[in-house]
Amino acid sequence: MNIEFDPTLHRYTVDGETYPSVTQILKAVLGIKWQADEWAMGRGSAVHACAAMIARGQEFEFDPIIAPQVDAIRRFFHEVRPQLYKVEYAVASRVYRFAGTLDMLASIDGHMAIVDWKSSSDIDRTSLQCAGYAIALGANDYDVTFMYEVVLKEDGTYSMSKRINLRPYMREFLAVRTVYGIKERMG
């Protein structure tokens, strides 16, 4: 499966065909709470890029405005010591016709899980988002049914959710995907 992402248009193509993203589906069906302003989205992208470089052991420079989040990420890796499998990993489901990019796939305390970086906690929405990734991961031979939400705080610390079982959220995500498809078909 060839997955391409255009960050300018926030558009995924899978083998040349356009697919909606996990977050696009959730925003369209569940509403505006998923929307952030341009500044917050830019900061979030920078923080995610730093997290990926930290995970890969790469050196980098960053804007001091995100120093607390970078410190929190470094603290997370030092304290939790996840065993990494994938970082900023694009996934797609041909069956359900959607795509997305998960932040990190890692083993924590012996459990394979999706790790999602956040600036504030919203465990239900994060669980739905990660459930979409988990469904798509299944199409890529990864059977992942757990996630952790990691909130990167302004004081340089982080909070990590308990391990969340994604199975009930996977069913809910598929219901949301169905509604999205109906809305798309009906215009």
pLDDT of res. 44: 83
More confident residue, 139 or 145: 145
Query: DSSP letter at 162?
Result: P
Pairing of strands 17-19, 111-118: unpaired
pLDDT digits (tens, 9 = 90+) for 53-87: 999 999 999 999 999 999 999 999 999 999 999 99
Of the ranges 23-32, 114-123, 155-164, 172-181, which one carries the lowest mean pLDDT score?
23-32
Mean pLDDT (the chain, rounded): 92
The pLDDT of 94-109, averaged and rounded, is 96
Q: Which of 16, 95, 106 is nearest to 56 (CA)?
A: 106
Residue 158 has a CB neighbour count (10 Å cut-off) of 21
pLDDT of res. 127: 96
Q: Which of 101, 90, 104, 106 is nearest to 23 (CA)?
A: 101
Share of the chain above pLDDT 90, in %: 82
Going by pLDDT thresholds of 50, 70 and 90, the confidence category of residue 128 is very high
Of the ranges 5-9, 72-76, 103-107, which one carries the lowest mean pLDDT score?
5-9
From the CA atom positions of the chain, what is the Rg in Å?
16
pLDDT of res. 38: 72
pLDDT of res. 142: 79
36 pLDDT more than 70: no
Backbone dihedral region of 20: left (phi > 0), alpha (psi from -120 to 50 degrees) or beta?
beta
pLDDT digits (tens, 9 = 90+) for 111-124: 999 999 999 999 99
Listed by start position, the domains of the chain span 3-186
Query: How many Å apart are CA 66 and CA 36, to the nearest integer?
Result: 17
Would the pTM of this model clear 0.85, i.e. be above it? yes
User: Where in the chain does DSSP place strands (E)?
Assistant: 3-6, 11-14, 17-19, 83-93, 98-108, 111-118, 146-152, 158-160, 164-165
More confident residue, 40 or 13: 13
39 pLDDT more than 80: no
The pLDDT of 162-171, averaged and rounded, is 96
Domain 3-186 has CATH 3.30.70.870: no
Residues 6+ apart with CB under 8 A from 57: none
Return phi, psi of residue 98, to 5°. -155, 165
Taking CA atoms, 63 is separated from 23, 44, 54, 135, in Å, by 26, 12, 15, 35
Q: Which amino acid type is present at position 1?
A: M
